[in-house]
Chain A
Amino acid sequence: MKMKGIAASPGIVIGKVLILNKEKSDVKIETISKDRIKDEIEKLHNAVEKAKKEIKIIKDNIGKEIGEERAKIFDAHMMMLDDPELISAFETKIREGKFSAPAAVKQVIEQYAEMFDNMEDEYLKMRGADIKDIGKRVINILLGNKELPDALDKEVIIVAEELSPSSIAQLDTKKVLAFVTKDGSRTSHASIIARSLGIPAVVGLGEVLLDKVQNNSLLIVDGNSGEVYLNPDKDILEIYKQKIIEYKTELERLAVYSNKKAKTKDGIAIEVVGNIGDIDDLEAVLINGGEGIGLFRTEFLYMNRAEIPSEEEQFEVYKKVAEKMEKNRVVIRTLDIGADKEVPYLDLPKEMNPFLGYRGIRLCLDKTDIFKSQLRAILRASKFGNLSVMFPMISSLDEVKQAKDIFNEVKMELDNESLEYNENIEIGIMVETPAAVMIADNLAEEVDFFSIGTNDLIQYTLAVDRTNKKIADLYSAYHPAILRLVKKIIDEGHKAGIWVGMCGEAAGDELLLPFLLGAGLDEFSMSALSIPKIKESLEKWSKKDAEKEMENILQLKTTREVKNYLQKAKR
């Protein structure tokens, strides 16, 4: 059976399915006879021990893949499972209440969780979630429900309703052949992470996925086309085995670009650089021949944890990236977070429209202690390499001025403390709101560079929620409005004598390359995997040819016309 979804991360694989269960906590509150008490208590102890082992595995994986700091939350889980009071509360429920082990765990956990939920203190409130989490894990073990981790003793294709960044973080991603989800879009966070990990992914397959696919089903996942085959017949299997070989050959052909400078046909050097979300993505950028980092998303430092990362911790991360990239530029984007992301210690209330809400620079200018600590860390790390700072979600000149004032304040603080930093560090902004485009001339006077964030620029300009599947086809970088805005941003930047880059998905789109090159884009920043292809395409275009194409493309009136034209123009 063939299903069609959104190709979210390239690569083709054939493998067996593991479905990630959603919470199955329908525990029957059942009592037991006296003679079973001993057995239930033993079952309980075994389950607790197993839960601890699972947590240790998760913790080690996260420590290795994402960083020790983020693994610390699992220390708290471990301590709770070691808590003698908790264990004896479970035992008492079994012994005196004559409840089965799962029923006992459920009741005790609920009681403790409620106690924490009712606390005033935000930090302690969150411990309720930790307690529920360990309770769920123990209950799942007692009931034999498969949760994620220990099943990954073999390579699997992960099938789920949707994947949050934290659930991906909990997986042993080395054993993951592909991600396949019912919901999601190309620009949802899980897709972005899949691409940076180099794991194929198809998302947005809809209800049919979970209706039909079962654990251990055989699946072909084509992350290039978005096609997924359930229990494929022999012929299709053969075709795909062939496709996998062809795809590998193509990758080998592109491999030469990992050591080759990006140049146009007429020899003009263009910066082709990578987007990273974490220090671990850096390796992929280097392997694929990225000549710098055009976007370092720092949100991940702030997520999946109980407290704000300290200046010291951030400094270490930025320093490592700076040192690793040596002379090559690394653009660090300051915290771009809002109510769509769960960051409990920030205590962000739910919003009707988080993408139009309290986020990005708006949050940073309000919570200046957080902002300052990040800027301090970046500045201190700046002397170990070539770092730049970039502010997200700019929609007014005041915001840029305020951000710069704070930046200068922080510099002065460092001067007073005799701490060194690169005094000539570049400051830039994301141009990702239509407002910023319209006042780009004024903004350009304040900064050293622009980086066009197409993902949000498209969303805000076309009024299309990029997570809404129903209108996903309206979301397109080929819309003439977007192309005109991009051209305007580049022109205004160049008029003011600053460089202009692009760090949205569109920068890694081969089809758009002649347009962007022709419009004069100086820097293309993309997922690591797109780098070789874009370098190869660049070699096929001279600046002059691209300029001609760009002029023609700007005359087109519809998204479809643009797309057709670009497909024909492709070399």
Chain B
Amino acid sequence: MVEEKKVVIKNKIGLHARPAAQLVQKASKFKSNIEISFNGKKVSAKSIIGVMSLGVTQGNEIILRADGEDAEEAIKEIEKFIIVEMPKEDKEVAN
């Protein structure tokens, strides 16, 4: 099963620091092969170095792609993390 989804990064600091680490932890729970594409580069969502090396910041659009038995669930959860959880972090950092 292959799932694909475009997501816009809304949080202030983008896929950095804690958000990147948390995203990788989320992705690693799934069996599917999960990739993030941005700016012509494609990396594994389970690789912290890969995710950070994309340099994704606020306003960027990324493509999530999962291939495997739990692909649908994986995309759903990661999308939710990016859209709902990550902006929450901003508040803590700004404080």
Q: A residues bordering B, Cβ < 8 Å?
A: 75-76, 79-80, 82-86, 112, 115-116, 119-121, 123-124, 127, 131, 306-307, 310-312, 373
A-B contact count (CB 8 A): 56
Give every chain B residue within 8 A of A115 (Cβ-Cβ). Answer: 53
A466–B47 Cα distance when bound, in Å, is 46
Q: Are B49 and A131 touching (Cβ within 8 A)?
A: yes
Contact residue among B21, B46, B57, B93 (Cβ-Cβ distance under 8 Å from A76): B21
Instruction: Verify if B71 is at the interface (C-beta below 8 Å from A).
Output: no
Give every chain A residue within 8 A of B52 (Cβ-Cβ). Answer: 116, 124, 127
Give every chain A residue within 8 A of B50 (Cβ-Cβ). Answer: 83, 85
Q: Are B57 and A83 touching (Cβ within 8 A)?
A: no
Known: A79-B24, A83-B49, A310-B92. 7 other contacts (CB 8 A): A76-B48, A86-B49, A115-B53, A119-B53, A123-B13, A312-B92, A312-B95
Q: Are B49 and A307 touching (Cβ within 8 A)?
A: no
Give every chain A residue within 8 A of B57 (Cβ-Cβ). Answer: 121
Q: Are A112 and B93 touching (Cβ within 8 A)?
A: no
Give every chain A residue within 8 A of B83 (Cβ-Cβ). Answer: none
A497–B52 Cα distance when bound, in Å, is 57
Q: Are A124 and B93 touching (Cβ within 8 A)?
A: no
Q: Are B43 and A85 touching (Cβ within 8 A)?
A: yes
A150–B21 Cα distance when bound, in Å, is 27
Most buried by A among B24, B46, B53: B53
Contact residue among A79, A120, A306, A307 (Cβ-Cβ distance under 8 Å from B48): A79
Q: Nearest A residue to B53 by beta-carbon distance?
A: A115
Give every chain A residue within 8 A of B48 (Cβ-Cβ). Answer: 76, 79-80, 82-83
Q: Are A84 and B95 touching (Cβ within 8 A)?
A: no
Per DSSP, chain A at the interface is: helix
Count residues on chain B whose CB falls below 8 Å from chain A CBs: 19
Q: Are B46 and A121 touching (Cβ within 8 A)?
A: no
Give every chain A residue within 8 A of B13 (Cβ-Cβ). Answer: 123
Q: B residues bordering A, Cβ < 8 Å?
A: 13, 16-17, 21, 24, 43-44, 46-50, 52-53, 55, 57, 92-93, 95
Q: Are A306 and B17 touching (Cβ within 8 A)?
A: yes
Give every chain B residue within 8 A of A307 (Cβ-Cβ). Answer: 17, 93
Minimal beta-carbon separation of A176 from chain B (angstroms)? 32
A193–B83 Cα distance when bound, in Å, is 44
Known contacts A76-B21, A121-B57; A373/B95 CB under 8 A: yes
Q: Are B21 and A79 touching (Cβ within 8 A)?
A: yes
Q: Are A112 and B49 touching (Cβ within 8 A)?
A: yes
- Can you sample 22 A-B contacts with CB below 8 Å? A75-B21, A76-B21, A76-B48, A80-B48, A82-B48, A83-B47, A83-B48, A83-B49, A83-B50, A84-B46, A85-B49, A112-B49, A116-B52, A116-B53, A123-B17, A124-B16, A127-B49, A131-B49, A306-B17, A310-B95, A312-B92, A312-B95
A124–B56 Cα distance when bound, in Å, is 10
A307–B21 Cα distance when bound, in Å, is 15
Q: Nearest A residue to B57 by beta-carbon distance?
A: A121
Give every chain B residue within 8 A of A120 (Cβ-Cβ). Answer: 55
Most buried by A among B13, B48, B53, B93: B48
Give every chain A residue within 8 A of B93 (Cβ-Cβ). Answer: 307, 310
Give every chain A residue within 8 A of B17 (Cβ-Cβ). Answer: 123, 306-307
Minimal beta-carbon separation of A80 from chain B (angstroms)? 6
Q: Nearest A residue to B21 by beta-carbon distance?
A: A79
Q: Are B47 and A84 touching (Cβ within 8 A)?
A: yes
Give every chain B residue within 8 A of A121 (Cβ-Cβ). Answer: 16, 55, 57
Minimal beta-carbon separation of A429 from chain B (angstroms)? 27
A131–B24 Cα distance when bound, in Å, is 17
A222–B47 Cα distance when bound, in Å, is 50
Contact residue among A76, A86, A116, A310 (Cβ-Cβ distance under 8 Å from B47): A86
A83–B25 Cα distance when bound, in Å, is 11
Q: Nearest B residue to A123 by beta-carbon distance?
A: B16
Give every chain A residue within 8 A of B24 (Cβ-Cβ). Answer: 79
Give every chain A residue within 8 A of B95 (Cβ-Cβ). Answer: 310-312, 373
A48–B92 Cα distance when bound, in Å, is 33
